[in-house]
Structure 1
Amino acid sequence: NLQLILVLRPTGLFHRALSDIAFKFNRDEFKMKVPIIMLGSVSELQGYIDKTQLTEDLGGTLDYCHNRWLSRRTAIEGFAQKVKQTAQILQSFGTELAETELPNDVQSTSSLLAIHTEKKDKMKEDIRLAVEQGDDILGSITEPITENPEYKLNQDQLDNQTTVERLLAQLHETESAFDEFWIKHQQKLEQCLHLRNFEQNFREVKAALDIVSERLSAFTDVGNSCSHVEHILKDLANFEEKSCETVAKARMLASEGDAFIQSNHYAVDSIIPKCSELHHLCDAFTTEMERRRNVLNKSLELHGLLEKSMKWCDEGIYLLASQPVDKCQSQDGAESALQEIEKFLDTGAGNKIKELNKVYREYAHILNEDLKVL
């Protein structure tokens, strides 16, 4: 964009002479595609360049300090390099996160999440320091306006302000992109940790369910008396109470898995069958527990009926055996004995087992050979 070269001759006689000689001997070096104009005074320079763009030593009004300019340019270039390095580091870290394989156990997943979070926090701190650095530079550029609201920044200051603001905007955009990526990565790691915990708990809960289901299957005895059945029912109730915690844990874990499914967990294909299995095992255990309780209650009912009938039969045998033989030798005595027997038979209406075929059908699942004989 070079359009014109302005050369201001030195004001001193000696320096002017030296510059003329140097210009004559090096004329070929100054042969360029743009014109060169030799100026004899500062006032001529002001004819080409506005005073606001000239420093005070050239008759202008530009507030310029070379040390300050050099320090500021160094700071801006350093900040630009910092922004570039930060973007590169974040990109490398993002690639590392994206290529990380998810662990297969709780401990490794938890450790990986902690390591990545620690690295992320360090990155965020580096970004914070970089932003702070940029804000400090921007503050030093606009400091004259802060001190004097009527102050007008010169072009160089405006360019510096624009550069720093652009770098800060770039830094914020980089940070926002990283934050968005980190949220997704963190969510994935947390979901992985939830999955590994769920899988570990599933193995433990399923093993516990298998144990209680196996123990429940051992309750096959239907009892051989009312007292025996009552004892078995008591044992079953105690076992059910102890098993409640295992079943409750399984149902809670299934609900936790259902919640993962509802939240669109990335591993729903793995979670769904496990939840289905837990629901099935819990329902099967509850159903079997209820079935065995019903069987024992039926057994208790049947034994109660049998014992009541057998007691009535024993009382009848005792009644017959207790009748005096000489009592039946007279008509009155025989009629009296017969009345006692008929009266006793009337009390057996509620103790008599009727329709044995119906009894067999109703209690078929608990009748063993001994009970059938009875």
Structure 2
Amino acid sequence: MKALDIKTHLEEKYAYISGGMDKKGYPLITFPYSAPIERLNADEIKKIITYLASIASSVNVDPKFSFIIDMRGRTWEVGKSIFKALQESFPYKIEHIYIVKPENFWEKHKISIGMSKYTQLEHTIESVESLTRDIDRNQLTNDLNGTFQYNHQNWLEFRLKLEAFVLYSKETLQRYESNYNELNLSDQSSNVRTAQDAIESHMTIFKDKLSRITIDTLINEGKSLLNMLRTSMASTNPEQQQQQDSNGSKANQHTFVFDYFDEARKITIVMDNLRSAKDRCYLLWHQKKVRLEQNLQLRLFEQDCDKLCNWIGESRLIILRRYTDIGNSCLEAMQHLAEHEQFTKTCLGNEAVIRRTQNVGERLVSSGHYGTNAIKTQMNRLNEEWKSLTILLENRTKILTASLQFHQKADEYLIQVPAWKHLCSLTDDIIAIQNIDQLECLLQQHYRLSDNISKIYADICSDGKAIIDSVAPPQTSDDQLDFRSSARHILEIVQEILSNHRLLDFKWNQRRTYLQQRKSLLTFEYDVQEIFDWLERHGDVFLQKNVSIGRSLHRAKALLKTHSNFESVLENTKTNAEKLIAAADELYREQHEQKQMSSSSSPTIMDDILDLELTQAKSKIYELAHNLDKRMQEFDEKVQKRRH
């Protein structure tokens, strides 16, 4: 029940609770003689006393009340309604009822007899003067000859303001509580749009709800009520004011000297609750704002990561569509490599975007973001996707680079095959060579040609193997890539080069064989001619000059010694001649074996030339050997004849 509900009855001052107490410390509720109580029915009286008692009941757990019923100028019939209401309808305990006896004798008698019916009500009938036996004079209002200052109009004004303050405060607290519960509702979003909507909705809560709840007016009202409790709500009585000021000075400057029912504490609690509710809501609103902003940051970061991962996936598909195409020629390989390098440059140009996104994730994590685990997951995912793309780009670059190098060297090899074939053929110029030094120089050139061809061939084989090893499905992809066509193309080129290389090797060996045969034959001829020349320049000359046998023993011994020395020198020449004669068969055998090794299964013009050369060489070797043997025998006979 509120004062506003019974405002009319309270204004008439049918009863009041001043704040005074009896000597036992129980609050006093007074029915003054001046109020026309006969106008009220029992229910209205019940409402008044119940309301007045409720004011003090909030202070005590088990409240008791004492009543002063001023019967002066009243009849028993009028007072009876009050006693009946107290006995039948008062919700609290009644300690004592002080009845101020009326001035009329018969009315006093009626009260004495009538009160015998209300056995539950402990009462005494007293004069105004005798009230001070049980109630101190300073606890009685001036209408009862007391000094307790009480202004009913001020009290009613205070009660109306207080209850309005409490009512509006409760409504405000309920609004704060409702907003607090609404703010506590989870509205985490799973995408950017809903996250933005959640922030806008959250800002709307502040704009349309929180910002429209104001407690300033209520706080000011509470302060006004406290101020009313600090100052007298009645006309100042010097004696009571001095006592109240004395009591107040014993506490502190905030003591509420007219607060008889602990209203100041209640008002302060309400004000504190208002401030706390506001701070609590504003704090939660700010915390949720931060969380919603972090949620938007997370969704934006996830969106950026998704876009980048999708772009990486699309780039991977573009690479994989042509991953097995390594080019069927040097030109195609060069074009593919140029296109891939441009594509790689474009892809790597986005590395800065990847790094910026990673840096954003790192900043979010370092800021203590609530979604740290989700952010790290996205960062790891983006890092792995980017790493797989860069590996794929590098592998593709290696494959195309190897393909280009392979085709370049293969083309270089095949382009030079005709020239190499010519260099390995038996040309007229080398057939006519009769100089050993020239043949030796040609052999050295021929070996250098072999080294050059072999190096290029080895490089091609190495590049071919490298590209075969490279054209394999990338480990970072689950796609099944078919490189059989590319591998088959590489193998076809290798087979073509191998075929040409075998032919070149065969022709090179033929030319080498011919040059070695020519060199061996010329060397043999030169050595035989050396012996012939020695016999002619030294042997025959010696025999022609030394025809005498000596006319004296001394001269004969000298000639014999000279002849013996000549025979020693001749013996060495004979040994060399015998070696050459013995080497003739070996030389022919070697040339025949070389000819067989360098011969093809299908005879060619070069084979015919080699056969002819071999036949001629055989005849010449045997002819030289025969002539040498014959010449040495003839010379040896001359020498032996000279000795004898």
TM-score, structure 1 as length reference = 0.71
Contact kept, 8 Å, 2:128 with 2:145, in 1: the verdict is no
Question: Match of 2:154, SS?
Answer: helix
Question: Match of 1:3, SS?
Answer: strand
Gap change, CA 1:115 and 1:220, over 3 Å in 2: same
Contact kept, 8 Å, 1:209 with 1:246, in 2: the verdict is no
1:2 aligns with 2:90: no
- 1:13 alignment counterpart: none
Q: How does 1:33-48 map to 2 (within 5 A)?
A: 33-40=121-128, 48=134
Q: Determine the C-alpha separation between the residues in 2 that align with 1:358 and 1:216.
A: 26
Contact kept, 8 Å, 1:6 with 1:37, in 2: the verdict is no
Deviation at 1:290, TM superposition (A): 1.4
- 2:273 alignment counterpart: 170
Gap change, CA 1:95 and 1:162, over 3 Å in 2: closer
1:109 aligns with 2:199: no
Deviation at 1:161, TM superposition (A): 1.5
1:192-228 per-position Cα deviation (integer Å, ceiling 9, x unaligned): 4345434544443333222111112224433456665
Deviation at 1:166, TM superposition (A): 1.9
- 1:88 alignment counterpart: 174
- 2:165 alignment counterpart: 79
Q: Determine the C-alpha separation between the residues in 2 that align with 1:83 and 1:243.
A: 64
Q: Which amino acid aligns with 1:126?
A: I
Deviation at 1:288, TM superposition (A): 0.8
Deviation at 1:165, TM superposition (A): 1.0
1:40-88 per-position Cα deviation (integer Å, ceiling 9, x unaligned): 35xx656655565456777766565444333332222122112221232
- 1:283 alignment counterpart: 387
- 2:263 alignment counterpart: 160
1:342 aligns with 2:444: yes
Q: Which amino acid aligns with 1:129?
A: D
Q: Determine the C-alpha separation between the residues in 2 that align with 1:285 and 1:18.
A: 112
Deviation at 1:164, TM superposition (A): 0.7
Gap change, CA 1:113 and 1:231, over 3 Å in 2: same
Q: Determine the C-alpha separation between the residues in 2 that align with 1:316 and 1:75.
A: 120
Q: How does 1:266-281 map to 2 (within 5 A)?
A: 277-281=381-385
**For structure 1, which segment, 249-258 or 203-212, has the greater mean C-alpha deviation from structure 2 after superposition?**
249-258
Compare CA radii of gyration and give the structure with the larger one. Answer: 2
Aligned length: 362
Contact kept, 8 Å, 2:230 with 2:257, in 1: the verdict is no
- 1:208 alignment counterpart: 311
- 2:216 alignment counterpart: 129
Q: Which amino acid aligns with 2:267?
A: V
Q: Which amino acid aligns with 2:269?
A: R
**For structure 1, which segment, 307-316 or 290-299, has the greater mean C-alpha deviation from structure 2 after superposition?**
307-316
Q: Determine the C-alpha separation between the residues in 2 that align with 1:45 and 1:371.
A: 134
Contact kept, 8 Å, 2:191 with 2:299, in 1: the verdict is yes
Contact kept, 8 Å, 1:229 with 1:296, in 2: the verdict is yes
Contact kept, 8 Å, 2:140 with 2:148, in 1: the verdict is yes
Contact kept, 8 Å, 1:79 with 1:134, in 2: the verdict is yes
Q: Which amino acid aligns with 1:109?
A: A
Question: Match of 1:241, SS?
Answer: helix
Gap change, CA 1:355 and 1:326, over 3 Å in 2: closer
Contact kept, 8 Å, 2:187 with 2:198, in 1: the verdict is no
**For structure 1, which segment, 187-196 or 113-122, has the greater mean C-alpha deviation from structure 2 after superposition?**
187-196
Deviation at 1:35, TM superposition (A): 2.0
Deviation at 1:248, TM superposition (A): 5.4
Q: Which amino acid aligns with 1:80?
A: V
**For structure 1, which segment, 153-162 or 247-256, has the greater mean C-alpha deviation from structure 2 after superposition?**
247-256
Contact kept, 8 Å, 1:109 with 1:189, in 2: the verdict is yes
The alignment yields a C-alpha RMSD, in angstroms, of: 4.7
Q: Determine the C-alpha separation between the residues in 2 that align with 1:370 and 1:250.
A: 43
Gap change, CA 1:315 and 1:182, over 3 Å in 2: same
Deviation at 1:257, TM superposition (A): 6.5
Q: Determine the C-alpha separation between the residues in 1 that align with 2:398 and 2:105.
A: 123
Gap change, CA 1:187 and 1:286, over 3 Å in 2: same
Contact kept, 8 Å, 1:134 with 1:164, in 2: the verdict is no
Gaps of 5+ in 1: 11-15
Q: Determine the C-alpha separation between the residues in 1 that align with 2:461 and 2:427.
A: 38
1:64-123 per-position Cα deviation (integer Å, ceiling 9, x unaligned): 544433333222212211222123223333444455665554333322332233324633
Q: Determine the C-alpha separation between the residues in 1 that align with 2:162 and 2:186.
A: 36
Q: Which amino acid aligns with 1:3?
A: S
Q: Determine the C-alpha separation between the residues in 2 that align with 1:56 and 1:344.
A: 147
Gaps of 5+ in 2: 1-63, 74-100, 233-244, 472-486, 498-644
Q: Determine the C-alpha separation between the residues in 2 that align with 1:245 and 1:80.
A: 68
Deviation at 1:242, TM superposition (A): 1.8
**For structure 1, which segment, 277-286 or 117-126, has the greater mean C-alpha deviation from structure 2 after superposition?**
117-126
- 1:119 alignment counterpart: 205
Question: Match of 2:70, SS?
Answer: strand
Q: Determine the C-alpha separation between the residues in 2 that align with 1:19 and 1:174.
A: 60
Larger relative contact order, structure 1 or 2 (CA cutoff 8 Å, min sep 6): 1
Q: Determine the C-alpha separation between the residues in 2 that align with 1:62 and 1:241.
A: 98
1:223-251 per-position Cα deviation (integer Å, ceiling 9, x unaligned): 45666545433332321232235565556
Contact kept, 8 Å, 1:257 with 1:275, in 2: the verdict is yes
Q: Which amino acid aligns with 2:123?
A: P
Contact kept, 8 Å, 2:226 with 2:256, in 1: the verdict is no
